Structure 1
Amino acid sequence: MTGTPRRDRYHHGDLRTALVDTGFDLLAESGLAEFSVARVARRLGVSTAAPYRHFPDRDHLLAAVATRAATELAAEVERAVDAAGSDPVDRFAASGGAYVRFAATRGAGFAVIFAVDLRDLRDEALSAAGRHLMDRLLDLAREAIGGDTERALWLLEQQVALAHGYVALLSDGFFARPHHTIDHLAVQAERAARTLIRGLEP
């Protein structure tokens, strides 16, 4: 969002949506540690007191942003899975690639959606969105290995660690070479998922 928006744009309840939108943008640019209500308000061109009409504190605003992130990530996973075809292994691998693309682009992955700072809030919308996302990923893992829940949980845990690790290392500047694009790392995450599944085969 560029420039300084007119303050009267946010009357009649529109400010809440604008706060979440702008919070998401700020998160992508600066990361979780730099996220604050005051910075979001300044970006919108409203007073630093205005957001508190909709969110009592930083964590509640962040929870709303995290809920949006979980919802959007789930949608991205579905798009990638649908495009991958009918093979269960390809579908599961595609979910890892979708995570890398989304989290690297939007700046909001599992570290935001399941942020330690937000656990004590017990925010119902965030909890529901997080459960929906993880249940879908677990379903994909079960399908990929034939339905064994215990092994599916192990597989999902490994994929989350791999995919999130790629995003974290990219954010930290570890992947500095030109060919280490987001798409390249997403493909690497997909290949890693297939390797994990092969390791679980009898």
Structure 2
Amino acid sequence: MSAVRKYHHGDLRAALIEASFDLLAEAGLQRFSVAAVARRLGVSSAAPYRHFPDRDHLLSAISATAARDLRAAITAAADAAGPDPADRLAAVAGAYVRYVVRTGAGFHVIYAADLYKIPDDTRREQTRALMTTLLDLASATGSPSYEEDVLFVEATIAVAHGYASLFTDGFFARNGGTVDAIAVRAVQAARALLAPSPAGQ
């Protein structure tokens, strides 16, 4: 999370998206507004509307950027985890925690229901690519069906989002938990979900 930044000149559209991530990380989606982003950049409340007609269009652009960047972070984490497919999928949880704590843009932003009415091909392309990467990682574990892949992805993200939310809410502050330490715990929890079930269960 960065300090309040002032916009001077250049690409206002890109500056609005960048400042939006700072605001999401600090205030959350419920308190996110176009006016707050404008104040953060030190521009008039009307300036953002030259690029985005409303809050949802700005969030759609944020979703596209977040999906692209989270996918890159997930891919890098999976590659760093080594060849074991279960380790690679579990690594998603750590990448997710680090990204969401830094940007505030988790699945609740990337796949926000209100965005599906926005005709944004870039967002659709990036969110589809993110989900395809996740499902490919799940499929590589040898799961028996697409439905099982979806459940693996769902469980991994749910664990990661829970850890990220608890960290943001200060739950781990009393123990001095760092983002990296919590990310490691998220990976361990996700990996446990992928452990083979005992015979007969």
Same fold (TM over 0.5): yes
Partner of 2:14: helix, strand, or coil?
Answer: helix
Within a 5 Å distance, the mapping from 1:81-96 to structure 2 comes to 81-96=78-93
Deviates more, 1:174-183 or 1:105-114: 174-183
Structure 2 counterpart of 1:37:
34
Residue of structure 2 equivalent to 1:135: 132
Written as runs of structure 1 = structure 2, the 5 A alignment for 1:99-178 is 99-146=96-143, 148-178=145-175
2:73 to 68, 73, 76: 76
Distance in 2 (CA, whole Å) between partners of 1:197 and 1:140 is 12
Q: 1:194 to 1:88 in 2, by over 3 A?
A: same
Distance 1:3 1:124 in 2: 29
User: Equivalent residue of 2:195, what SS?
Assistant: helix
CA distance in structure 2 between the aligned counterparts of 1:189 and 1:201, rounded to whole angstroms: 22
TM-score by length of 1: 0.89
Structure 1: stretches of 5+ with no match in the other structure: none
- The partner residue of 1:53 within 46, 50, 53 is 50
Aligned to 2:69, what secondary structure does the other structure show?
A: helix
Q: Hey, what does 1:180 align to over in structure 2?
A: 177
Moved more, 175-184 or 95-104: 175-184
1:145 touches 1:197 (CA, 8 Å); kept in 2? no
Separation in 2, partners of 1:117, 1:176: 33
Q: Quickly say closer, same or farther: Cα 1:165–1:4, change in 2 above 3 A.
A: closer
CA contact (8 A) 1:101 1:182 kept: yes
Report the Cα offset of residue 200 of structure 1: 5.0
Query: 1:146: Cα distance to partner?
Result: 4.7
Say if 2:18 is the partner of 1:18: no
| 1:53 positional shift | 0.9
Q: Return closer, same or farther for 1:121/1:162 CA change in 2, 3 Å cut-off.
A: same
Moved more, 63-72 or 191-200: 191-200
Query: How far apart are 1:39 and its partner, in Å?
Result: 1.3
Flag the 1:25–1:41 CA change in 2: closer, same or farther, 3 A. Answer: same
% identity of equivalent residues: 51
- Tell me the C-alpha RMSD between the 2 structures: 1.9
Return the offset for 1:101.
1.1
Which has a greater percent of helix? 1
Q: Distance in 2 between matches of 1:33 and 1:121?
A: 19
Question: Is 1:41–1:47's contact at 8 Å kept on the other side of the alignment?
Answer: yes
Task: State the Cα deviation string for residues 113-171 of structure 1 (Å, max 9, x = none).
Answer: 01122222242221211111111011101112356322222211111111111112222
- Counterpart CA distance in 2 for 1:117 and 1:174 is 29
Q: What runs of 5+ residues in structure 2 fail to find an aligned partner?
A: none
| Contact map agreement 1:145 1:152 (CA 8 A) in 2 | no
